[in-house]
Amino acid sequence: MMFTEPGMTPIVASKQILGHPSWLVSNDTVELAVTECGAHMAPVTGYRNSKKPVQPYYIGFVEHCNESISREKPEVMRGDFFCLPFGANTTPHNGENHPSHGETARLPWTLVEARRDRRCTTIVLAIEPRVRAGRVTRELSIVSGQNVVYDRTTIHGFVGKTTMAHHAILALPQSERSLLISGSPFVLGMTCPYPFDDPAHGEYQSLAVGAEFDDLSRVPSIFKAAPDADCSTFPARRGFTDLLQIWHDPNSKNLAWVAAVNTEERYLWFALKDPTLLPSRVFWIENHARHRYPWSGRTCCLGLEDSCTFFDKGLAESCAPNEISSRGLPTCHELSGKKPFVLTYVQGVVKTPENFDRVCDAEFEADGVKFVSANGKTAFARVDHAFVFTASLRSCQQ
């Protein structure tokens, strides 16, 4: 299938990419692939025409190896995808039984539109969930001269309480502690308040259960008398998988950001969000820790999942009173269905100079963001950051 403007090259093409039918769009700077099943966004290639293109996202090893679970086609798990509702969802809620991370992450989407508008290329995808009536559309846009993907997700007619998240999964470099994480301030950090993994199933965790922290570099360990774990640098703690969550001020009028500096390949990935809509961020830390088939200790990735949820439990636990919501921090949204719920999200990459280390500040300028490292070096990303609050791209109007 190809969506083509008269007299022009195709805007989007359908291709089989690493085992899954996908839609592929590109411009001078970015090539973007999105799977038909679950609308998982990867591979995404920034600086695509340079000598060293950048591909920040993780693609599940099962897909790479063309393996299957129970002789069925393997599930897609790659890049960034939208979860509605987010979480395992093993407990029914008001008679609803949602799959893990919701039908938006598991069922086929439909490509309904592809367009070019000045410097912008946009594809529009849609899905109609079955468990709870509604319609979800995602508009994914790339802009000439920028290494950025803009995502505007609109939820129509989905009535009641729900969790949601952007589930970005980053590929980790080979060298230990060569990916450095930092972001805008948060008001609460907590490790998973229940055991995240079960050694009886060949899964192991390293962080304490239900421990609070205010600094990602000092997170309590599960081991008695052990020093705090540094959860701002990866890969680390090989053989363990962990979950933690941080909350930003849900009343803040400021844009929230996260940056992951890959010192090995000299680039940083960043994401921008509205903290009133996605007030928290779940860290899924996976470092060769799940030893049963099909993982077999091979998975090494980092999920940075901007969300409104109570950890990874799902709808029932997030919508009920819990130890986070009791502090005035939201763990779900309540949708009326009377008007569309619009969620914006921005993700991008920028190459960094030699010896650029952890980001200590993000300075928002008229035409982009200047990331400042702890040692004073800078990296400038050309991005229309106003999109987070306006849901419109100024670049498409110029």
DSSP 70-121: TTBPPPP-BSB-EESS-S---S-BTTB-PPTT-GGGTSB-EEEEEEEETTEE
Q: Give the total residue count for the chain.
A: 398
Q: What's the confidence (pLDDT) of residue 261?
A: 98
Q: What's the confidence (pLDDT) of residue 111?
A: 97
| HSE of 222, CA atoms in CB hemisphere, 13 A | 20
Residue 19 Cα distances to 78, 147, 167, 270, angstroms: 12, 25, 20, 27
Q: What's the confidence (pLDDT) of residue 294?
A: 67
- Give every CB contact of residue 370 below 8 A, 6+ residues apart in sequence: 362, 363, 378, 379, 380, 381
User: What is the extent of the structural domain holding 279?
Assistant: 2-397
Condensed to tens digits (0 to 9), the pLDDT of residues 259-318 reads 999 999 999 999 999 999 999 999 999 998 877 766 777 789 999 999 999 999 999 999
Domain count, the chain: 1
Q: What's the confidence (pLDDT) of residue 336?
A: 92
Q: What's the confidence (pLDDT) of residue 78?
A: 94
Could you give the residue ranges of the DSSP H alpha helices within the chain?
61-65, 315-319, 387-390
- Which structure tokens are listed for 269? 């990935």
For the beta sheet containing 240-247, the strands, ordered from the edge strand earlier in sequence to the opposite edge, are: 82-83, 164-171, 300-308, 280-287, 240-247, 188-191, 212-213
Q: What's the confidence (pLDDT) of residue 1?
A: 47
- Which structure tokens are listed for 224? 């008695």
Condensed to tens digits (0 to 9), the pLDDT of residues 202-254 reads 889 999 999 999 999 999 999 999 999 999 999 999 999 999 999 999 999 99
What amino acid occupies position 51? K
pTM: 0.94
For the chain, residues with pLDDT lower than 70 are 1-9, 61-74, 293-294, 397-398
Q: What's the confidence (pLDDT) of residue 69?
A: 39
Phi, psi of 144 (to 5 degrees): -55, 135
Query: What is the rounded distance in angstroms from the CA atom of residue 221 to the CA atom of residue 102?
Result: 31
Closest to 203 measured CA to CA, from 195, 212, 214: 195
What amino acid occupies position 16? Q
What is the CATH number for 65?
2.70.98.10
Closest to 245 measured CA to CA, from 284, 276, 205, 286: 284
Q: What's the confidence (pLDDT) of residue 297?
A: 76
